[in-house]
Amino acid sequence: MFSSTSRTEQDLQASVRKACSGEESAPKRKHVRGCIVYTWDHKASKAFWEAMKLLPIQSDEIQMFKSLIVIHKVLQEGHPSSLVGGYRNIPWIESLGRTFPGDGMKNYGRLIREYVSYIIKKLHFHHDHRGFNGTFEYEEYVSLKVVSDPNEGYEAILDLLGLQDALDDFQRLIFASIHRSKGSECVVSALVPLVAESYGIHKFLVSMLRAMHRSAESDEVLQPLRDRFYDQYRRLYEFYADCSSIRYLTTLITIPKISVNPPNLMIEDSDTNGNGNG
Amino acid sequence: MSARKSVMRSIKNVVNGYSSTQAMVRTATSNDPSGPTTSQMADIANHTYQMSEFHEVMEMIDRRLNDKGKNWRHIAKSLTLLDYLVRYGSDDVVLWAKDNLYIIKTLREFQFSDITGHDQGAIIRVKAKELTGLLKDDERLRQERELARERAND
């Protein structure tokens, strides 16, 4: 209501262009922030998507990979309309995944395909489950809603587990591609949104599973969800340990610390505000 | 050097037609290595209780928060100032900050390294994280404002 800035569409186009440059480096935060802030200023993402589509990213693998990082960041931190806009643009995003068959000239081919498929999974999730924000920052009411409707809750948890699995597959591919020292910063910077997202999903899973265990009559129904969660937890622990060994990453973000042993799902959720990444 | 810069700043204030309130904010959030002082911030807080002046203050903070990486001190100091205003300023400051939370939130990944390669962004990332945490916790914010009011009345 008091907003006084007037970032124009031209500013946005410049931010998009500079964030998605062809240089093999991390997208500059300054320009990514420009895109994010624009969607909030205007409470709309249409201009962002249009600016993205104007870029000649189909001609360069690095530029395309960087664009996917930028898209992911805007989906996470941008105005909620960014998620809606992303869902509408799924066909275009899919087309990006078909541009470089095989490994590509610069070895970004597979990374791009996997990133595209992850982003599309994410967009479907947000479309099916409104009420989650882009970074899965904890909101109490979502887990409350889940308890009131166990079927919907079961479904939401299942889909969250699926998304976390897809995220895990993608982070493994990234780690497998890092070995080349030159330009690794570009690949590593894709881990930044993944760390934030995986932790957000994790927090939700713990809280929702606890709520389900409190309200469900038999534990047996929840057995498959529990098993999958514990299995996932082990991999999440390793993921954060791997991330902690990359200096570039640890100076930029705080890698969440989770204990070796998975949290007890049978107890009351003591972490009432649960805002771990605030 | 700093003296010359402060002269330049006062010239800019006149040339750009900044009001005295805005000039105050500009001084408090300048590229000077020191500051803002508590008395500067208290002064500005007092100016947020009148609507027209409130707008002037927030407009200037908004501009400073969106400044270039090179001017990281503008951003760091504006976060310090805003944190103070959220506690000691008018209720409108809290409303503004919540409305524009994304401006603060997106600074949690701010990056800037100076020519010696020293990471100057860290201070901004920490300040942005703390302020975001405070603004999202209504209960804590209420307590902090109450505490601030008591302190001001002492």
- B72-88 and B138-153 are packed helices; what angle lies between their axes, rounded to 10 degrees? 80
* Chain A, nearest residue to B106 by Cα: A33
Distance from CA of B153 to the nearest CA of A (A): 29
CA pair distance A137, A28, nearest whole angstrom: 24
Other CB atoms within a 10 A radius of the CB of residue B112 amount to 18
What are the pLDDT digits (tens) for A145-168?
Answer: 776 788 888 899 999 999 999 999
- B91-99 and B121-136 are packed helices; what angle lies between their axes, rounded to 10 degrees? 110
pLDDT at position A7 is 73
Other CB atoms within a 10 A radius of the CB of residue A26 amount to 20
pLDDT at A268 over 70: no
pLDDT at position B2 is 66
CA pair distance B18, B22, nearest whole angstrom: 6
Other CB atoms within a 10 A radius of the CB of residue A137 amount to 20
**Is the CA virtual torsion B62, B63, B68, B72 positive or negative?**
negative
Residue A198 near residue A243, CB atoms below 8 Å: no
For residue A32 the two structure tokens come to 């990514």
Q: State the count of interchain CB pairs (< 8 A) between A and B.
A: 56
pLDDT at position A180 is 61
For residue B2 the two structure tokens come to 């700093």
Instruction: Specify which of A228-232, B1-5, B6-10 reaches the highest per-range mean pLDDT.
Output: A228-232
Q: Do the chains contact at B102 and A4, CB–CB below 8 Å?
A: no
* Candidate from A39-53, A100-114, A215-229, B134-148 with smallest mean pLDDT: A215-229
Q: What are phi and psi of A226, to 5 degrees?
A: -60, -50
Residue A262 near residue A206, CB atoms below 8 Å: no
* Chain B, nearest residue to A137 by Cα: B136
Residue of B62, B106, B122 lying closest to A33 (CB–CB) = B106
What are the pLDDT digits (tens) for A35-60?
Answer: 999 999 999 999 999 999 999 998 89
Residue A96 near residue A52, CB atoms below 8 Å: no
CA pair distance A50, B72, nearest whole angstrom: 31
Q: Do the chains contact at A2 and B102, CB–CB below 8 Å?
A: no
- The predicted model scores a pTM of 0.88
Q: Which residues of A touch B59 (CB under 8 A)?
A: 4
Other CB atoms within a 10 A radius of the CB of residue A178 amount to 15
pLDDT at A272 over 60: no
Q: Do the chains contact at A4 and B122, CB–CB below 8 Å?
A: no
For residue A33 the two structure tokens come to 């922030």
Nearest-CA neighbor of B25 among B7, B8, B13, B16?
Answer: B13
CA pair distance A209, A146, nearest whole angstrom: 10
pLDDT at B63 over 70: yes
pLDDT at position A183 is 61
pLDDT at position A278 is 33
Average pLDDT, chain B: 92
Q: Do the chains contact at B66 and A273, CB–CB below 8 Å?
A: no
Q: Do the chains contact at B99 and A1, CB–CB below 8 Å?
A: yes
Residue B26 near residue B18, CB atoms below 8 Å: yes
* Chain B, nearest residue to A251 by Cα: B122
Residues 6+ apart with CB under 8 A from B126: none
- Helix, strand, coil: what percent of chain B each, to 5? 80, 0, 20
DSSP code per residue over B31-88:
S-SS---HHHHHHHHHGGGSHHHHHHHHHHHHHHHT--GGGHHHHHHHHHHHHHHHHH
CA pair distance B89, B84, nearest whole angstrom: 7
Q: What is the mean pLDDT of residues A168-179?
A: 92
* Residue A69 one-letter amino acid: I
| 3-state class (DSSP) for residue B27 | helix
Q: Do the chains contact at A36 and B95, CB–CB below 8 Å?
A: no
Residue showing tokens 């991390």: A26
**Helical (H) or strand (E) element with B134:** helix B121-136
